[in-house]
Structure 1
């Protein structure tokens, strides 16, 4: 049985004759060579995706969804989607957080999916709040070999049918907030899942480690704040870092922001967004700093909704209903 490392996807795609699929798979292989998980520009709004310790961070029901289209203009380009919901709980005289998330990632002929449950235990510490969270998930992997066009169809290393497999997945995270700043460390895929794809191939998923942090800086103008943040990740072989800064305007429940994110050796991203009728909307465009044309960057759309919960009412949580706009 052949074991496929994500770093070996480049070897697979060189056997594909169709130039468009070949190009995209090579680009996708470069994208995932640092880690299995997708890279989202709005990572500060998607903290539970990286760190289960962040669920229930605020006393609100939080719903977030994001869709990213990478390498625009290429056929079979990577497309990633994430939907998550988390909320705090208060019982046994302590704070807790729970969350549920769904992730779908399509890279060329590969499809990666994850359904996960998250729980975090919270405790007051040094004037802030520290959380320890665990994530239990089910990974589902697929490869559509029917679209392969290879010279030797009898090569057992390549399947020419649609194959699927699944595996159990575990993540863990620590998260600490104190006033205007936060910091978190986490690890995904701690069990190093090995997914069987058919009878002749396996997909090995390596653990990925994350470090994140951010701070809200107040300015003399009471309506403006600066929100710097950083996300670092590595699987022990390669790494990626994202450093971001946003200027946020807030006035009477209205919020607008604009910002820039930089990933050394990877890309520069422009971000805009705001809050409209209680819905948070953000858009980003990532321009790769390699030889890829500026018009072949990545689009990302983020949509979020939050509603305040009353954690002190026994048996009931007061909240506003979601409007259908």
Structure 2
């Protein structure tokens, strides 16, 4: 059977489709299966199930990323996740659910996942161990393939689909102003059959994240810093980010920058509006790609305080913290 490798242009060398796939080779991290998000610090359950229920709040996050603007068939990714903590049998836990739809060229990658985390106090902080059970759905739109005069049976010429189970696990530790986490996605290396002649092999991806919240003399201003490194052992991507956050009563605004070595520089701006946290980022590639062909990302989140740990009480309160 033929092996289809996602996000690599050599699969489509005989097809008259997307210039974008060729350009992906110039952005090494994009060759990995998992999509990248600029707002990764607000979307930690996306790559680490141990981060669910991190705060005593119901947390809902939605994000939409449009990569390589201006190119035909450019990558477009949508994410929706929700998580919350709960208290059961004398221990703290976290639970979450996430949905992702990632379209690149003629491929569509979809995942729905349930997440669980067990939490425990350790060395003055809190450690969380999490697991994720997911279901992958892969689709290749072969009806848009143009083989010219060739009738090579190796290429699907109809809409083919396949699915597989997917597992992930992670550890997450918080202590005062800093945190750190390590996780792995696609632990079972899912193999998805697409039609009768092709299959898609998904390699495990490993993540390392951490951050520190810098306090200033001005009580209204803080500088959260964070880093995320991921690799599938064939390619890697690192993101180093810092934001200046201004908080005063019900007002919250921030601006920041993120740098990914050999890949890109990203500018971010956000704030709270009527209880909704809204943030936008623009990623500018440091390769030969034009400044105007960067990536747009919009993130929207909402948090509600929960008091589920005292019998007979369940208070809800809107918060405005990104």
Q: Partner of 1:84 in structure 2?
A: 81
Name the counterpart of 1:16.
Answer: 15
**Residue 3 of structure 2 corresponds to residue 3 of structure 1:** yes
Asked if structure 2 preserves the Cα contact closer than 8 Å seen for 1:34 and 1:235, the reply is no
- Could you report, residue by residue, the CA deviation over 1:171-206 in whole angstroms, capped at 9, with x for unpaired residues? 000000011110000000000000000000000000
Report how many aligned residue pairs link the two structures: 318
Alpha-carbon distance in structure 1 between the residues aligned to 2:246 and 2:189: 43
Query: Which of 249, 257, 261 lines up with 1:260 in the alignment?
Result: 257
Structure 1 residue 108 displacement after superposition: 0.7
Matches within 5 A, 1:173-322: 173-314=170-311, 317-320=314-317
Once the two structures are TM-superposed, the CA of residue 15 in structure 1 deviates from its matched residue by 1.5
- What residue number does 2:115 align with? 118
Q: CA deviation at 1:26?
A: 1.8
2:23 counterpart residue number: 27
SS in 2 for 1:216: strand
Determine the C-alpha separation between the residues in 2 that align with 1:167 and 1:315: 42
The separation in 1 between residues aligned to 2:134 and 2:24, in whole angstroms, is 24
CA contact (8 A) 2:133 2:167 kept: yes
TM-aligned CA deviation for residue 252 of structure 1:
0.1
**Which whole-Å deviations, capped at 9, do the CAs of 1:50-104 have from their partners, x for residues lacking one?**
1000000000000000000000011111100000000000111110000000000
Q: Secondary structure at the match of 2:242?
A: strand
Residue 316 (structure 1) shift: 5.3
For the Cα contact (< 8 Å) 2:37–2:65, is it kept in 1?
yes
1:60-71 aligned within 5 A: 60-71=57-68
For 2:116 and 2:239, locate their aligned partners in 1 and report how far apart those are by CA, in whole Å: 26
1:111 shift after superposition: 0.1
CA root-mean-square deviation: 1.5
**2:207, 2:228 within 8 Å by CA — same for their partners in 1?**
yes
Deviations, residues 204-224 of structure 1 (Å, cap 9, x unaligned): 000000000011010011110
Contact 1:153 1:160 in 2 (8 A): no
> Which of 145, 148, 157 lines up with 1:148 in the alignment?
145
CA distance in 2, matches of 1:180, 1:152: 62
CA distance in 2, matches of 1:223, 1:34: 41
| Match status 1:105 vs 2:105 | no
Whole-angstrom CA distance in 2 between matches of 1:233 and 1:282: 23
1:257-276 C-alpha deviation (Å, 9 max, x unpaired):
00100000000000000111
Unaligned residue ranges in structure 1 (runs of 5+): none
* Contact residue 305 and residue 318 of structure 2 kept, 8 A: no
Which residue in the other structure is 1:72 paired with? 69
Please say which of residues 290-299 and 30-39 is displaced more in the overlay: 30-39
CA–CA distance in 2 between the matches of 1:308 and 1:143? 42
Tell me, yes or no, if the aligned pair for 1:228 and 1:245 is still in contact at 8 Å: yes
